[in-house]
A = this chain, B = another copy of it.
Amino acid sequence: MSLTALALNCTLKTSDKSPSSTDHMLRLMLGDLAKFGVESAVIRVADYNIKPGVSSDEGPGDDWPEIRRRIMEADILVLGTPIWLGQPSSICKRVLERMDAFLGETDDQGRMPSYPRVALVAVVGNEDGAHHVSAELFQALNDVGFTIPASAVCYWVGEAMQAKDFKDLPQTPEAIVSTSAMAARNAVHLARFLKENQYPGG
């Protein structure tokens, strides 16, 4: 069975600017997913106009319907965000807000359109904040219907009050490499099952 993944990079920078540490982490994770035959793409959300709101279409000029369509086409969502002030980026929050609409779009079995997708989380910062970011993302993603496999987050942050960037590390630390591999393995394990065995609803 072939699976697909969509990664959303919620850096504050558009793709014409300097490289993104979040992108660096997402490439690592998508590489690990590829080992299981998962085809993937990355969307740099800052390149799009995601209007404020909590519906699936906020009207003319809103790019969310396109991103929503691509989430629906994928089996695995990898939500990646940088950390600012210990918290997820405003662009990541915007993405979650727009998925709030899933709560009102259930089918006649009470299942949200996001069912039966699996979510992974990628978090990168100069220092501190990864656990909190994953907490907020797991909760919001679960609230809007995603399934969270065991060990679903891969993150890197540097020492407190320092300014090192993940993308500038001479090499990726071994702990990050093995965490990413385990997250990918677990996501694929669940996604294969759920793709053929949708939640029954009721």
Q: Which residues of B contact A76 (CB under 8 A)?
A: none
A22 within 8 A of B: no
CA distance A89 to B160 in the complex (A): 19
Contact with B along A157-184 (1 / 0, CB 8 A): 1111110000000000101101101100
Contact at A161–B179, with CB atoms within 8 Å? yes
- Interface residue? A38 (CB, 8 A): no
* Residue of B54, B138, B162, B185 touching A138 (CB-CB under 8 A): B138
Contact B148 A148 (CB under 8 A): yes
CB-CB < 8 A to A80: which residues of B? none
Is A128 part of the binding interface, using a Cβ–Cβ cutoff of 8 Å?
Answer: yes
Query: Nearest Cβ distance between residue A109 and chain B, in whole angstroms?
Result: 9
Q: What is the CB-to-nearest-CB distance from A68 to chain B, in angstroms, rounded to a whole number?
A: 16
* Chain B residues closer than 8 Å to A97, beta-carbon distance: 12, 84-85, 89-90
A112-159 contacts to B (CB < 8 Å):
112, 114-116, 127-132, 134-136, 138-140, 142-153, 155-159
Q: Which residues of B contact A152 (CB under 8 A)?
A: 142
A151-B142 in contact given A84-B54, A135-B135 (Cβ < 8 Å): yes
Residue of B nearest to A50 (CB): B90
Please name all residues of chain B whose beta carbon is closer than 8 Å to the beta carbon of A128 when the two chains form the complex: 128-131, 155, 157
Residues of A within 8 A of B (CB): 12-13, 46, 52-54, 84-91, 93-94, 96-97, 100, 110, 112, 114-116, 127-132, 134-136, 138-140, 142-153, 155-162, 173, 175-176, 178-179, 181-182, 185-186, 189-190, 193, 197, 199-202
